[in-house]
Amino acid sequence: QLETATGKITADRATVRELDMNTVGVVSNIMGQTVALDWHNDTVDELLANFSKINSSVERTGDFTQKENLFQVVARNNTLFIDMVGKLGIKDRSDTAWHLSQYESLHEGMRKEFDLDERFRVSCNFYVF
What pLDDT score does 62 carry? 83
- Maximum CA extent, the chain: 64
Candidates 41, 36, 7; CA nearest to 125 is 41
pTM of this structure? 0.70
> What pLDDT, on the 0 to 100 scale, is given for residue 85?
78
Q: Are the C-beta atoms of 6 and 102 separated by less than 8 Å?
A: yes
Tens digits of pLDDT across the chain (129 residues):
555 556 677 767 778 878 889 988 888 889 888 898 888 888 888 888 888 888 888 888 888 877 777 888 888 888 888 887 787 777 777 788 878 888 888 888 888 888 998 888 877 766 554
pLDDT on residue 126 = 62
In contact, 96 and 50? CB cutoff 8 Å: no
Q: How far is CA 55 from the centre of its chain?
A: 27
